[in-house]
Structure 1
Amino acid sequence: MLLEIDNITLLYGRIQALHGISLQVDEGEIVALIGANGAGKSTTMRAVSGLRPIASGQIRFAGQDITNMRADLRVIRGISQAPEGRGIFPGMTVQENLDMGAYTRRDRAGIQADLKRVFELFPRLSERRKQAGGTLSGGEQQMLAVGRALMSRPKLMLLDEPSMGLAPMLIQQIFSIITEINQQGTTILLVEQNAQQALSRAHRAYVLETGRIVKSGTGEELLRDSSVKDAYLGVA
């Protein structure tokens, strides 16, 4: 098991955002978290990446307790995140943004190999490597956020709402690339409003409601589940 979240709670001031969340991600999987806005999906991601401290429970990664580990050390351990809203550096070029993704690394040959891989996955970024990140389209910025996360050579990649604000054709393209990244050996934990796409791609998935996991199963099982269809897939 690569990631194990065991009964975690998380507070924003006096408000409890997560109520005893437990889930696991095995090596090689795509695992999706789906749910409405405010369900706790992004908060769970921030707990895993170390951006928000948890109040109780435990997080283990590759057999090690990382519950109280600093966020930058989690990156070195092998966790990277493409955050909700993309979070690129608008005044830096595409190349500089990608270089920032590799800031914990010293293996120059490996960094160059991964840069080549990112440009193969996202040829548009190669064309715009000298362009400022803030001048890219929304779809290109999303590609850059995913590419930057890849540059740390993660064992586990956290993708938070990768399709948000994208045109339907671009959504399809981003999800195809996510599947390709997974097939190349990167395990993925995916938070996504587009439940249809997420469940179609995921090996397993969890449904969150108001900070609690209310359902889990394979992507296929949840696609067929009538309550999931009603709530998230827009199908009766």
Structure 2
Amino acid sequence: MLLELQDVTLRYGRIEALHGITMQVEEGEIVALIGANGAGKTSTMRAVSGLNTLASGKILFDGADITGMRADLRVVKGICQSPEGRGIFPGMTVAENLDMGAYTRRDSAAIASDLERVFGLFPRLQERRKQAGGTLSGGEQQMLAVGRALMSRPKLLLLDEPSMGLAPMVIRQIFDIITEINQQGTTVLLVEQNAQQALSRAHRAYVLETGRIVKEGSGQDLLVDPAVKEAYLGVA
């Protein structure tokens, strides 16, 4: 088991955002979290990446308890997040943004190899490597955010709403690349409003409602689940 959340509760002040959720991610999987706004998807991501402290419960990663570990040390351990809203550095060039993704590393030959991998996945970034991040299109900024996360060479890549605000053609391209990243050996935990794309690409998925997991199963099974179809796929 690469990642395991055990009875995780997360609060923002008096508001309980996660109510004792338990979930697993196996090495080599794409696992999707779907649900409405406010369901607890991003809170789950922030719990895994260490950006929020748990009220109770445990998080295990690669066999070790990381519940109290700082966020930056989780990056070193192999967890990296591409955040909702992309969070690129707009005044830095594409190349400088990608360099920031490798800030915890000292293995220069491997960093150069990973940069070539990112440019292979995202040829547009190579074309624009000297261009300021803030001048890129929305789709290109999303590619840069994912590429920057890959530069840390994660065992587990956290993707928070990678399709947000993008045109349908670009969304398909982003999800094709997510599938390719997974096929190259990176485990992916994906939070996504576009349930159709997420479930069609995911090996397994969890459905969150108001901070609780209400369904889990294979991506294909949830795609044809009547309640999921009605609530998240716009099919009665």
| TM-score, structure 2 as length reference | 1.00
Matched AA of 1:70: R
Written as runs of structure 1 = structure 2, the 5 A alignment for 1:11-50 is 11-50=11-50
Matched AA of 1:127: E
2:106 paired residue number: 106
2:79 paired residue number: 79
1:134 paired residue number: 134
1:164 CA drift (Å): 0.3
Is 1:204 the counterpart of 2:165? The answer is no
Distance in 2 separating the partners of 1:75 and 1:24: 19
1:231 CA drift (Å): 0.1
2:61 paired residue number: 61
1:198 CA drift (Å): 0.2
Matched AA of 2:72: D
1:129 CA drift (Å): 0.4
Measured against aligned partners, the alpha-carbon deviations of 1:189-225 in whole angstroms (never above 9, x if no partner) come to 0000000000000000000000000000000110010
Distance in 2 separating the partners of 1:52 and 1:88: 21
Distance in 2 separating the partners of 1:136 and 1:46: 26
Distance in 1 separating the partners of 2:53 and 2:100: 24
Which consecutive unaligned segments of at least 5 residues does structure 2 have?
none
Measured against aligned partners, the alpha-carbon deviations of 1:19-65 in whole angstroms (never above 9, x if no partner) come to 00110000000000000000000010000000011100000000000
Matched position secondary structure for 1:69: coil
Distance in 2 separating the partners of 1:197 and 1:58: 30
Distance in 2 separating the partners of 1:187 and 1:34: 17
1:8 paired residue number: 8
1:223 paired residue number: 223
Measured against aligned partners, the alpha-carbon deviations of 1:109-137 in whole angstroms (never above 9, x if no partner) come to 00000000000100000011011111110
1:94 paired residue number: 94
1:108 CA drift (Å): 0.2
Measured against aligned partners, the alpha-carbon deviations of 1:118-166 in whole angstroms (never above 9, x if no partner) come to 0010000001101111111000000000000000000000000000000
- Superposition RMSD in Å: 0.3
Distance in 2 separating the partners of 1:106 and 1:126: 22
Written as runs of structure 1 = structure 2, the 5 A alignment for 1:126-205 is 126-205=126-205
Matched AA of 2:224: R
Distance in 1 separating the partners of 2:129 and 2:87: 17
Distance in 2 separating the partners of 1:90 and 1:5: 34
Matched position secondary structure for 1:81: strand
| TM-score, structure 1 as length reference | 1.00
Matched position secondary structure for 1:148: helix
Distance in 2 separating the partners of 1:144 and 1:126: 10
Matched AA of 1:218: S
1:83 CA drift (Å): 0.3
Measured against aligned partners, the alpha-carbon deviations of 1:82-127 in whole angstroms (never above 9, x if no partner) come to 0000000111110000000000000000000000000010000001
